[in-house]
């Protein structure tokens, strides 16, 4: 009777620790539970006579399950490196998706426009580019030959 009541108290306590430590990895959490279970079993065996009060005292000295879980989480060297990549990951992938979408949209919508513009410009440049692309003194030579004001250059000089 006393024994089962004690077992129930212990099980209830360990359940509270398990719930408080839900943020830990399952392996680490079970290790913690196992450590506490061992402690309780050893401490119970050391009671001269096992009473409910004795078991409550053992659990009280172990302390608040939340405090134990917090200590396990703070000292957890694997959690902090795991957590940061998990948090920035969604924004990064969202941004990537948005960027890809924007590029695709730009190509679809602006592609033909750009093609027309580029084509038109290219055509225009091709037509008018010949003289302008020639630099320096070379410009002066074809200009008079192309322009109808051919006669002006001999007149101006």
What are the residues binding other proteins (CB under 8 A)? 17, 28, 31-32, 35-36, 38-39, 41-46, 61-65, 67-68, 71-72, 74-75, 77
Q: What residues contact residue 68 under an 8 Å CB cut-off, 6+ apart?
A: 17, 20, 21, 32, 36, 62
From first CA to last CA, the distance across the chain in angstroms is 126
| Token duo for residue 43 | 């401490």
CB of 30 to other proteins, least distance (A): 11
Q: Contact at 8 Å (CB) between 131 and 146? A: yes
Nearer to other proteins, 23 or 144 (CB): 23
* Cβ atoms within 10 Å, residue 56: 13
Distance in Å, CB of 36 to other proteins, minimum? 6
The least CB distance from residue 11 to other proteins, in Å, is 16
Q: Which is nearer to other proteins, 53 or 135 (CB)?
A: 53
Instruction: Tell me whether residue 18 or residue 28 sits nearer to other proteins (CB atom).
Output: 28
């Amino acid at each position: 009777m006393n024994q089962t009541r004690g077992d129930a108290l212990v099980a209830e306590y360990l359940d509270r620790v398990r719930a408080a430590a839900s943020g830990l990895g399952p392996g680490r959490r079970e290790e913690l539970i196992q450590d506490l279970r061992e402690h309780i079993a050893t401490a119970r065996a050391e009671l001269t006579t096992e009473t409910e009060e004795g078991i409550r005292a053992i659990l009280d000295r172990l302390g608040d399950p939340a405090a134990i879980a917090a200590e396990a989480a703070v000292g957890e060297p694997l959690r902090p490196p795991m957590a940061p990549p998990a948090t920035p990951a969604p924004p990064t992938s969202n941004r990537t998706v948005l960027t890809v979408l924007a590029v695709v949209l730009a190509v679809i919508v602006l592609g033909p426009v750009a093609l027309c513009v580029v084509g038109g410009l290219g055509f225009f440049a091709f037509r008018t580019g010949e003289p302008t692309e020639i630099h320096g003194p070379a410009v002066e030579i074809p200009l008079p030959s192309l322009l109808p004001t051919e006669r002006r250059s001999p007149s101006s000089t």
